[in-house]
Chain A
Amino acid sequence: SYVLTQPPSVSVAPGQTARVTCGGNNVAIKRVHWYQQKPGQAPALVVHDNSDRPSGIPERFSGSNSGTTATLTISRVEAGDEADYYCQVWDRFSEHMYVFGTGTTVTVL
């Protein structure tokens, strides 16, 4: 089945830029979606279709997808961005269909 690999953790100082990667075989041909999950809360969609933001999501959140790596970029990081982040794809050829990445904890120093 299709596998998406993320680094377990990313640390960033306030005001700096955090980059969360999501690696997968030929991931560039898939639409990658990103979710933010704060402690005790349900996940929430922050980027869909590689680089689009749902309404209400700050422009500080952006995404890209190229080659074997998709990236979620959080600019001008704030304390409230501390959370777990998951990437996700739909793989029509995989029996598992909806695949989540392993998750990354973003810590704001």
Chain B
Amino acid sequence: QLQLHESGSGLVKPSQTLSLTCAVSGGSINNGDYSWSWIRQSAGKGLEWIAYIHYGGSTYDNPSLNNRVTISLDRSKNQISLQLRSVSAADTAFYYCASVSRMNAFDIWGQGTMVTVSS
């Protein structure tokens, strides 16, 4: 059974770069059955899609984030990475990684990791 586990910088200063990784177990990120996404949720708010990466490497990100996002695959470590540049307090949220099915549903989620942007 596929399992995802997020980790990374829990506290980031304003204007710096947020870096997160999502470790995949129980399957390979090179498996063509899955692509991958990052999603976030601010306290008491709804879900916001951040970025998507196809298992082949093509990427898409939410234009609301103003080109601050990089999503990538580390095939040697079986991980998906997220970088969000020039962060502000508005980027404080719970960040989740998820596998994306062929029908574009987020079918497996990690437990999430909290990121706080504060000086």
Contact = CB atoms under 8 A, between A and B. Distances in A.
A31 B104 contact: yes
Contact of A97 (B46, B60, B101): B60
Interface string A20-53: 0000000000010101000001111100110000
Which of A35, A44, A101 has the most C-beta atoms of chain B within 10 angstroms of its own C-beta?
Answer: A35
A98 B47 CA distance: 10
Contacts, number: 60
Interface string B60-101: 101110000000000000000000000000000000100001
A33 B47 contact: no
Interface string A85-109: 0101010000111111111000000
A43 B107 contact: no
B112 A54 contact: no
A12 to B, nearest CB: 21
Given A96-B64, A97-B60, A88 B105 contact: yes
B111 interface: yes
Please classify how large the interface on chain A is, using the bins under 10, 10 to 19, 20 to 34, 35 or more: 20 to 34
A49 B106 CA distance: 11
B88 to A, nearest CB: 20
A97 B52 contact: yes
Contacts of A90: 103-104
Contact of A45 (B47, B49, B60, B105): B105
A86 B103 contact: no
Given A44-B109, A97-B60, A98-B49, 13 more contacts: A33-B103, A42-B109, A43-B109, A45-B105, A48-B103, A48-B105, A49-B103, A49-B105, A54-B107, A98-B37, A98-B52, A99-B49, A100-B47
11 contacts: A31-B104, A31-B105, A42-B110, A48-B101, A48-B103, A88-B106, A90-B103, A95-B63, A97-B52, A101-B46, A103-B47
